[in-house]
Amino acid sequence: MAATPIAAVQRYYPKGQLKWLYCPSVANKNAITRAEINAGTDLSKQVASYDGWNTTSNFVDTPDVNSRFTGKIPGSIEADESSLTIYLDPSGNDARTLMPRDATGAIVRMDAGDVPGRKCDVFPIQVGSVGKPFEEDSAVQAVFSFAILEEPGENVIIPA
């Protein structure tokens, strides 16, 4: 008997659907509320690019003196260095006001939009730096670098 195939998925392209929110307060990263989402700020239209926003596991060797094979088990979980590159306004009324250095909160990534029942990731963060690498022939942007303070809430259901 053959293995049961995984269910077919509706493939999608995140550009145009991907949402990035800054929420100043999230009580439970594994069960964000609609009130917390609504109290946040949608950064999506100002995000030029992003980097990181992923977790990885380190693996620990588990040698056995009776075997030449060394197995592994999952070890510590780490978050990648993470940043958002965001457009700036000449008035200064932009994300720099919202998220200055040392600000805390959560970055919420909604891969397929803010649609109840879909999934999002909730990253408890602190702003580490706001760099401004000005380039002569491009729109002015700042790179917001974030410390991810604890294991993110992953695959959290977006509430109605």
Computed over its alpha carbons, how large is the radius of gyration of the chain? 19
Q: What is the mean pLDDT of residues 49-68?
A: 96
Q: Is residue 66 part of a domain?
A: no
Q: Which of 45, 58, 28 is nearest to 159 (CA)?
A: 28
Note whether residue 14 is domain-resident. no
Average pLDDT over residues 76-98: 95
Residue 109 belongs to a domain: yes
Whether 99 has a pLDDT exceeding 90, the answer reads yes
Residue 156 tokens, joined: 């959290």
Say what the pLDDT of residue 1 is.
84
**Domain-embedded: residue 59:** no
* Tens of pLDDT, residues 104-152: 999 999 999 999 999 999 999 999 999 998 888 889 999 999 999 999 9
Q: Is the pLDDT of residue 64 over 90?
A: yes
Please enumerate in sequence order all residues whose Cβ is within 8 A of that of 15, keeping only pairs 6 or more positions apart, or say none.
none
The SS3 of residue 95 is: helix
**Domain assignment of residue 13, yes or no:** no
CA atoms of 62 and 147, how far apart (whole Å): 31
- How many domains in the chain? 1
